[in-house]
Each structure stands twice: as structure tokens, then as C-alpha cells.
Structure 1
């Protein structure tokens, strides 16, 4: 022992010179099949490093600060298991059981964090016991980022890749929504899928947003501590896209839902800047919840606080390469802020990815989306996108439509389907000016399209943006 200690004391440089990798580049990982796949790490200044993976090899020298990086084109690489070798001057690292496929990063607060099974203070997801028992998917790999908040961006995160199994899905407490997403994508594409879960309950969007710079400096960025501790150290690991489920705390803590659009833009643009990639950003519009009943002391706008956030989330669709799913029909208890149906959330997100990121046909991933209004006498005629097969989900008259005249007072309205549109009227409003739909925190409206997807809540004076991705 004394001899070993003497060797360690006499040879500090050789220890520091050993080539190292970040946690995300480790056994059982999935590498994205893409044209630009970075591999990076640390070594002694100017140390030569050689990386070999999937039959490809790249060499470089570490910079004066010890950082090094190489890139591979793995777009056409076979998805079969392989190893990655990283050789430095004094050591070699061998990363085993590496698959090539599709990688997605899932983030947000408690509804993204919620696992299949038990979570303190929450009911388990529907069918959790059977779903856990069936979670044996060796080509689905999970990386759970350890919770970490810090003032400066970290160069690494804590976590490890595991094969998805009944044991690992429970031990990792992995996101149920992300799991269902990954399972669907993996089975549909017949490719390995890697999922990264970086989520923390009860957190505002500002905590996940990179420090504002340049043109984003005007957007409020908070103190960025979760971005610093749990996101920054993942980049530039190649990913196909991001899944985002957050917003509840921006209602509860600040009741500033109307300001969510620029904050969403700062988040998306900041993450893309960090990765230097314009990956798709798919997100969940938060579910109905009785905020004004359960948390009345925290709200300024009462039952309209959540619709204001819904509107701001929908307006964030103006950000290029984004898309949103709606969850107004997935709540089993309006007093519970954690709806138990995370399977439908994951499947809807997966359908976005399959239709828009992977070009699979025959999938309608969007619900009816308000486009325009025309006033005809005492009626308002509304037009929608994604309106094929408009119908009432429960066969009852369409609900949660309201109409107002010049006085701005909204009245309950009769709404009827007319082809790809809706005709709205009320005997209490002779000269309508505007219409709103699902403008209440308890709204669980029944308007759907042929795909069975719910319509997006809206106010007619704010048409929902339709970027190139969501058309």
C-alpha cells in the first residue's frame, strides 16, 4: 500500500493525462444515426486522441485546456451493437454495447418526470403494474440525468445508460411519457431508441433556459440553474429532437402564462444554440386543472389563468420546427395536477415524431386548429386546419364555445359542425364580434377530428400560428 501511494504521489501528471469521457458517452448508449455525431472528452493538453466506432476512426489533439472533440458521419451506419474505443497516450477506454439509432431528450417538470409507478404524493399511471412487468425492451435505452442545480454551466452530468427492463424502469424512476414515446418509436421504426430524461418537478421554464445572450437578451432567462446542471453537460451529444412538458409552475408561482411565448422562444433557441442544431421541439400543452380552486391565493386571473398559458403555448408554434399536442381530454381528476394517462401523452408525441421527423404517412398528429373567423349576420363561421372528420367525441352537442359582441361579454353559444368549420351563435348576441373556445381551466371540450384528437383552445382574435412543421 505504501509503495502504491508513493507511485501515485510521484506520478500526478500521468494520472491527469488519462483520456476521459463525459457520462453520456458510456456503456449501453445509443448514438444518433446522423451525419454529425460528436464524440468529446478531456485529456492532457496537446495529447493525441483516437476514437474508433462502427468501423470509423478519427484522431485529434487536445486543446491547451485539455478539451478534445471529433465528429463522425453515422447516417448510414448499421444499428447492430458495437464498441467505441478511445485511445490516449497512456490509456484506452472501451465503451461496450453501443447501439446506433434514434436519440431523444425529454425534459420539463413533474408531468414529464412522473414515472410509471409510485411517486411521492402522486397516484401511479394507469395500468402501471402490468406496464412495468411488460417493459422488457433491450433496444430501448434509458439515461436518467441526476438532479443538479448550479450557478455555472457544468461540463458533464451524472447518470448512466441502462437497457429498458422491468427492473431498470422502476429503479431509474424514468419518465412515463418519455417511455411510452420511445417504445412506440422503437417499435414503429425497428431501430434502437435512446431516451434521456432530464426533468424536475415544480420548476419554472426560466430555470431550464440558458443565460440570455445577443438577440435573446431581452427575454427573461431566470437564473438558469437546471439548464446549467442538467442540460449544458449533455451537449453536444447528437439527438434527433426534444420533448418538453412544462408550464404548471409558471401558472402557480407567477401567474404569468401570457408571457410564456417569449420564454419558450428563449428556451428553444438557447438549447439549439448550445447544440448548434435546429432539432425539432415537440411539446405538451398542459392539462386542465382547477388551479383557482386548489390554489386560489396564488392566482390573479382565476379560472382564466390556465387558458392564458394555453394561448401562449399555442402562440409558441411560431417558433420554427416546433409542434404541440393537446391534453384536454386526458384528465381523470381535475383536482389532480398530475393526470394519470401518460400513455396517451407519449403516443401523441410519438405520432408527431413519426409523421414529421420520420415522414411516416397515414398519421394525423394534430387536432382541429383554429384558423379564421367570418361574421355572417348573427353567426360566427370558424375555419380550422386539421379538420377532416370534425365530430363530437361523446355524441353530445359541441361544448365550451362562447360568443361576444361589441361589449366583450361572452355568452354560452350553440356550435354546429359545417364541413371543415364550425358555426357559432347565441340568442343573447345579435351582432357577434369574437368567439372563444375552452377558455376555462376546467374545460374538457368534446370537439375532435377523425383521428380523435381534441381541438386546441383559442380566442378568435389570436389565430394559432401554423409553421411549416405543423401544416
Structure 2
């Protein structure tokens, strides 16, 4: 087990009503009395990180001793199959097509016992005999653990040099609604122009299903932050602004559950995929970009952020693309910069900041430029389009000029708006010199000023 450093640490349980309870750990002794329902809890004072395995003793009418406890950083990772995607599926790495160097086979070579993992399984599944609680991230316990979660921890460890604890709670194919407490989802979101959307209550009867069995039992285990990789199932349902409100509800409700309104919440923009080829769903090639846009609206909440992975796909007909180790690494870069103040760490590719019409072109300014804007293959930047006031977008020429890109097209003499990567198959060569991909955008975003 790993306990969170530098924060008060919740320890809780059940006992006979009015039973006296004492908790002893790392020189601290906390006492309490179980309430009339038999519930009890204490909070340990903030602690410094520690690699020394220590015991926690919990005494009531009986005694429980928890062993091999470290103190460091603890993160929860959740979502659907791309977060759940287990290390056993990566037991034999294929050659990385795009040049991203695959890691060594950690199932056979991992030996860092200071990374600890806890696999939160669905209650209707049989638990793995090799993984019934906290384990070191080595050998058999690592087999069923999240690839993204493990490589997040592995990279973060090299940056922080403290024990890392990861809790994985993810379910393949799950929509966002089952991860939200039912009473929190039944809301009527309002836009700034006064328009009210229909209630967000899910119509499939699964609202709160995984929250009740996988998230609620973890509360109030003290965390540093949360990682979220989910959305494909909701994207198939043609969701955009409604998903933005659902994600906002999930973030705010989970933070409230943990009584930490500033807890970091980082998520992954889902990967390019051929959604429009679905035979039973009338989806367009712009459904995915609109969903990316909806995901990004969650950035209106403080201490949230996201990473783009548009370059980590070898086949747009594979809903579970490879390079999961790189997804974990990028989340670690994000956490290092934003959660731990390592501002020298470049964590994102170029991100749209503003545009300016200059004669017959549009000048686009970017943040997160790192050490400079670049083309991955040295060829002209791809997947830029431009339109006049008529809204008819055409492919455009895009040239790098400092931290700006100048976009133009001969058939658009009076440009009005610009888009980048606005297609479900878009995998542009536009990056920063650190190799991180530019984030898709449209300057004519209809939701940015309305969402609240």
C-alpha cells in the first residue's frame, strides 16, 4: 500500500457501535469511537514520503495489522477499455510503426517495488488469486493492471523519486453515466444564452452502476489526483455538449466526494477512429472532432487538463490503438508540470490560443510551443482548412512563423475562420520540437462562450 504524502490521510472502517478504536502508524496514534451505525474514521497528520515499509495497527475489540506500507503519491485511474487495457495484452510488443520506442517487456523485467498497484474489480467478476489487494508492480500482480496507469507511475517515479501508488477502476465499453452517482446526474444544464438542455439522466438504467460498486467504496482513501480515459461509447451516441456537462458533473461530484475541490483531474482526448463507418449509427466525419471539443470544455474547471494522442494510432479502424505506454508517459508529463510544479517539463503539443485576420490569411497563435513549432516529417503542415463568411472550408496552406502559423488558400480571399485536424481520421504532422502533437481545434467553436 501507498499512503498520500503531505496531506491528511483518511483511515476508516466499521465496528460495533460505541466501540473504541485506535490507529497507530509512523509514530502517530489516533483514537475515535464508532458511531451508532458502527462507522468510524480518523485522519493521520500529513507525512513526508518514505520508502521504509511500515506497519499500521488498528485496535478495537480485535486487532488488525496492515504491513508493508509506504508514503508517497497516490493516483486513481478510471474510464473504459483503453484505460482498463491490461499489461498482459502487451506481453509481446510489436515494432512501433511511427517510431515511438516501445518499452522493454515489464511483465518480465519490472523490479521497482516502490510502485504499488491496486486493481479495483467489478464485484460480479471473480477476483484474481494473484491480486486481492495492494501489490508491488512486478510479476503476476502486474498482469491484469492498466498499461496506462503503470507507465504513468513508472515515468512519474523517475521525476519525483518517491513511492507511487496507482488504483485502477475501469470497465470496458462503459459510458460515462455509470460512473456518476444517479442523484448527481439528474440535472438540467443551462447555457449562457438561457437555453436549457434536457436533463442528463441516462436512459439505459445504468446510471451509478460502477460508481456504486467501484468508486464509492474507495472514498475517502486520500489521493493526489485522478486520471480519466473514456468517451468512445458516448461518442458513438453522437454526443457533444451533453457529454461536456456529464464530464463536468463527474469531475465536480468526485471532487466533492473526496472533499477536495482542487484535486487534479487529467483526461485523455480519445484517439482517431472511423466512427462514421458505423452501419447502425448516422455519424459524420466531424462527430469525433466535436466530441474532442466537448471534452475540452471541461477545462473550464480549475486543475483539469488533457493530452492529445492523435499521433498514436496505426489503424483508424482499431478502437484500441497501441502506444498505451506513451499515453501513460504523456499523462505523467502533464502531472509533473501542473500537479508538481516542474514547469520545465513540456507536456502538450501546440494548442490554439487566438487568431487574427491579416489581409487574405489568418494568423494563428499557439501556446504549448515548447522549444518551437515543427513538422514531424519536414513536409508542409497538414489538416488545416480555412473558410470565408460562407462557412465553406477548403484545404489550406499553413506556414510556421515563430509561435504562429499563417493559414491561407487562394480560393478564400476574405477568410473568416480556421480549423485544424477537424476530421475523425486526422493525424497531422504538426508538432512542437518535443514531438508532441498539436491539439485539434476550430476557431468557430459555437460552445466555448456558452458553456458554463
In the other structure, the counterpart of 1:5 is none
Tell me how far 1:452 sits from its aligned partner. 1.5
Structure 2 residue 262 is the aligned partner of structure 1 residue 290: no
Answer with 1 or 2: which has the greater Rg: 1
Q: Which among 170, 176, 179 is matched to residue 208 of structure 1?
A: 179
CA distance in 1, matches of 2:77, 2:184: 24
Alignment TM-score, normalising by the size of structure 1: 0.85
Tell me how far 1:430 sits from its aligned partner. 1.4
Tell me how far 1:226 sits from its aligned partner. 0.8
Asked if the contact 1:58–1:70 (Cα under 8 Å) also holds between the matched residues in 2, the reply is yes
Q: Which among 341, 346, 350 is matched to residue 368 of structure 1?
A: 350
CA distance in 2, matches of 1:407, 1:72: 62
Tell me how far 1:125 sits from its aligned partner. 9.8
Q: Where in structure 2 are the equivalents of 1:423-434 lying within 5 Å?
A: 423-434=406-417
| Larger helix share, 1 or 2 | 1
Asked if the contact 1:135–1:165 (Cα under 8 Å) also holds between the matched residues in 2, the reply is yes
Tell me how far 1:67 sits from its aligned partner. 0.3
In the other structure, the counterpart of 2:111 is 136
Asked if the contact 2:185–2:249 (Cα under 8 Å) also holds between the matched residues in 1, the reply is no
Tell me how far 1:168 sits from its aligned partner. 1.7
Structure 2 residue 304 is the aligned partner of structure 1 residue 304: no
**Gaps in structure 1 of 5+ consecutive residues:** 1-28, 151-157, 466-471
Asked if the contact 1:116–1:174 (Cα under 8 Å) also holds between the matched residues in 2, the reply is yes
Asked if the contact 2:275–2:283 (Cα under 8 Å) also holds between the matched residues in 1, the reply is no
In the other structure, the counterpart of 1:262 is 245
In the other structure, the counterpart of 1:65 is 37
Asked if the contact 1:371–1:463 (Cα under 8 Å) also holds between the matched residues in 2, the reply is no
Structure 2 counterpart SS, 1:354: helix
In the other structure, the counterpart of 2:158 is 187
Q: Where in structure 2 are the equivalents of 1:204-283 lying within 5 Å?
A: 204-213=175-184, 218=189, 220-222=200-202, 223-252=207-236, 254-277=237-260, 278-283=262-267
CA distance in 1, matches of 2:185, 2:379: 52
CA distance in 2, matches of 1:335, 1:146: 28
**Residues 335-390 of structure 1: CA deviation (Å, up to 9, x unaligned):** 11111101110000001111111122421112111111111221111111112401
**Gaps in structure 2 of 5+ consecutive residues:** 97-101, 126-130, 190-198
Asked if the contact 1:148–1:226 (Cα under 8 Å) also holds between the matched residues in 2, the reply is no
CA distance in 1, matches of 2:240, 2:124: 24
CA distance in 2, matches of 1:213, 1:48: 35
Asked if the contact 2:186–2:201 (Cα under 8 Å) also holds between the matched residues in 1, the reply is no
CA distance in 2, matches of 1:144, 1:112: 12
CA distance in 1, matches of 2:151, 2:303: 22
Asked if the contact 2:271–2:313 (Cα under 8 Å) also holds between the matched residues in 1, the reply is yes
Structure 1 counterpart SS, 2:273: coil
CA distance in 2, matches of 1:125, 1:30: 34
Tell me how far 1:213 sits from its aligned partner. 4.1
Asked if the contact 1:328–1:444 (Cα under 8 Å) also holds between the matched residues in 2, the reply is yes
